[in-house]
Amino acid sequence: MPASKPTPRQRAHARTRDEILAAAHKELAARGADGLSLRAVAREVEMVSSAIYRYFPSKDDLLTALIIESYDAVGEATEQATGGRAAYGRRFVRGCDAFRDWGHAHPHEYALLYGSPVPGYRAPQETIVPAARTTVALLRVVEQAHLEGALGPRAPLPPASGPLRRQCHALSEALATDLPEDVLLRFAHAWSQIFGLVSLDLFGQTVGTFDPADALAAHSFRTAATQLGLRP
């Protein structure tokens, strides 16, 4: 039973759902994740609060829909940025920049996705795939570089423990990639660094040190690319 025939009723339902979602996004951007009030959303779309429950069984479900949309947005942005024909190092850095820029443009969404988990909220299965898009976009750049033999010299890495090597192996299979273990590890570290920097920046942890963090971010991303063996 695919969308063989969207009845007028279904169309109306979907349209209202989208309206609610748009209003919720607006609220989220304006007031943040826990300032997000179902009643405020209801006011925005000129409905009574209880009517929202016809479209989203609970606030968590509304939140989930928002999270998925946001993951897709940031994933899309990063994918876009990593495309093109530039050198792999450049594409990687551009992807990082896109990630950071998106965060700056949507701080509340970023906080929702990458910040403290909302208490009582358990991320459902369907968020996992969109959540991975950003990371995978960056990883694909490294993968392409590796496949073309364009990966330059890298500093030696400490030896990996048994469990860690097993996780790398499992991850390789899950991602259907044949990146060598050490590249995978380097990528994990690079992603930690990138994510850490952007989070420190957006969560206000850089005040009094590297604030604004633009210059540090540029240097950090470039360093990460270099450590991965990506050439500019």
Partner DNA sequence: AGAAATGCAAGAGCAGTGCTCTCTTTTGTG
Partner DNA sequence: CACAAAAGAGAGCACTGCTCTTGCATTTCT
Residues engaged in binding a copy of itself (CB under 8 A) = 31-35, 108, 111-112, 114-120, 123, 128, 131-132, 155, 157-158, 160-161, 163-164, 167, 171, 174, 185, 188-189, 191-197, 199-200, 203-205, 207-210, 214-216, 218-220, 222-224, 226-227
* Minimum gap (Å) between residue 110 Cβ and DNA: 21
CA–CA separation, 95 and 138 (whole Å): 7
Using CB under 7 A as the binding rule, the residues of this chain from 58 to 77 that contact DNA are: 58-60
Residue 47: name its binding partner from a copy of itself, DNA, none (Cβ under 5 to 8 Å by kind). DNA
Select from 32-40, 71-79, 97-105, 158-166 the region that touches DNA (CB under 7 A): 32-40
Report the residue from 21, 33, 36, 141 that binds DNA according to the rule CB under 7 A: 36
CA–CA separation, 96 and 198 (whole Å): 9
Q: Which two tokens stand for residue 167?
A: 């996780």
CA–CA separation, 166 and 171 (whole Å): 8
Evaluate whether 137 touches 95 at the Cβ level (below 8 Å): yes
Q: Which two tokens stand for residue 185?
A: 């590890």
Which one, 53 or 195, has the nearer CB to a copy of itself? 195
Of 201, 206, 187, nearest in space to 95 by CA = 187
Evaluate whether 171 touches 122 at the Cβ level (below 8 Å): no
* Minimum gap (Å) between residue 136 Cβ and a copy of itself: 10
CA–CA separation, 186 and 139 (whole Å): 11
Q: What residue ranges bind DNA (CB under 7 A)?
A: 7-9, 12-13, 16, 36-40, 46-51, 53-55, 57-60
